[in-house]
Structure 1
Amino acid sequence: MLADLIKDLSRIHTRDIRMSTFPHDNSQVIVKGELIDTRYIRIFDITGKVLEPGTIHHIRLFCRITPDPLRIVEVFADMPVIPMEECRTTLDRVPLLTGLEIKPGFTRKVSEIMGGTRGCTHLATLTKAMAQEIVHGWLTEKRRNPAPLPDNLENIKEKGFLMDSCRMWKKDGPKIQALKQAVLARKKNNPDK
């Protein structure tokens, strides 16, 4: 088993991506993402230069998110640690994320804005990874208080990014079935609604 093969080995590199969501005004949230690459061994770069162990990348992205539609309305990024000073020039692509909706196609749009030679692959990776935290963080904030059960499945605003997002949320999956049962039970117990 692979887990057994590495149990006595020392790491040579790690990538940590951490994300957090914070409440803001008017049903908005602020989502912070952080990518940290750490090298644990001494290496030789492509030019033969010796590079010592340590943090290679530390990149942070902050997005203010508004609902209806779920989208980025303000964005800021910085790069506290980078391998080359020129890396910071790629931050010019970050403002182009403003207005981007969190919906199917988000990662493709991020690639168009900051992927490849247009930007930084690490910042693009962080931005793409943040899509799920944006959705989960916003839903968590939204569900801080109980909400009424919808009259039917068509009235669920979140279904656009929940339906078919995974096996549990597929159209005939357990989450949708449970929701259907809850709606039917509500109608049975409250026939006037």
Structure 2
Amino acid sequence: MHSYPLEDGSLIVEGRLKDDQLTPGYRWDGERRPAGTVHEICVRILVGEWPLRILDAEAEMEQIPHELCPTTQESVRKIIGMTIAAGFSNEVRRRLGGIRGCAHMTFLVMAMGPAAIHGFWTMKSKTRRPLPKSLEEFSGLSMLMNSCSLWRKDGPMLRYIKEKLRR
């Protein structure tokens, strides 16, 4: 994953999935399959605003196992307008999963949600902001809360923030 900040405050997030098979084998129809790259997919999303919203999306299928795979490429546009927040992965699955798209692209987009948030906060952290006076003023805290073990409601990160706010 890579993120590229733009001057207007938006961010391009690029995700790549590469699936290499290290040994040759046989396909279901008995045809020999050489070792090498089976899938190489790139998805780019343009995100902006807060809460983070997907403003545009595109996909490239650089290496594919079947000639019809590119017919699913445009399905990535179904995520335009989505907010990257709690429930993001479920909504991506609903829009792109199963017969609505490509399984590999769906899982790549799901992994791009956290990368977009990290890229956005990295971009915003280049400017020093005043320390919030309360948890309510802590921008983006709701995105972090209960997102992992460290950020659980009674976890070490929230204790650290509360201690800093008391000072």
TM-score normalised per structure 1: 0.84
1:62 — aligned with what? 44
1:13-162 → structure 2 map (5 Å cutoff): 19-162=1-144
Show the counterpart of 2:160: 178
**Which 4+ stretches in 1 moved above 6 angstroms?**
none
State the Cα RMSD in Å: 1.0
Cα deviation 1:103-137 (Å, max 9, x = unaligned): 11111111111101111000001000111101111
State the distance in 1 between where 2:83 and 2:162 align.
Answer: 28
Structure 1: 5+ residue stretches without partners? 1-18, 186-193
Higher RCO (C-alpha under 8 Å, 6+ residues apart):
2
Amino acid at match of 1:136: H
| Unaligned segments of structure 2, at least 5 residues | none
Structure 2 distance, partners of 1:27, 1:183, is 28
Aligned AA (1:151): K
Structure 1 residue 154: Cα displacement:
1.1
* Total equivalences in the alignment: 167
Give per-residue Cα distances to partners, 1:20-63, cap 9 Å, x unaligned: 01111332111000000001111011111100011100000001
Identity of aligned residues (%): 35
What is the TM-score with the length of structure 2 in the denominator? Answer: 0.96
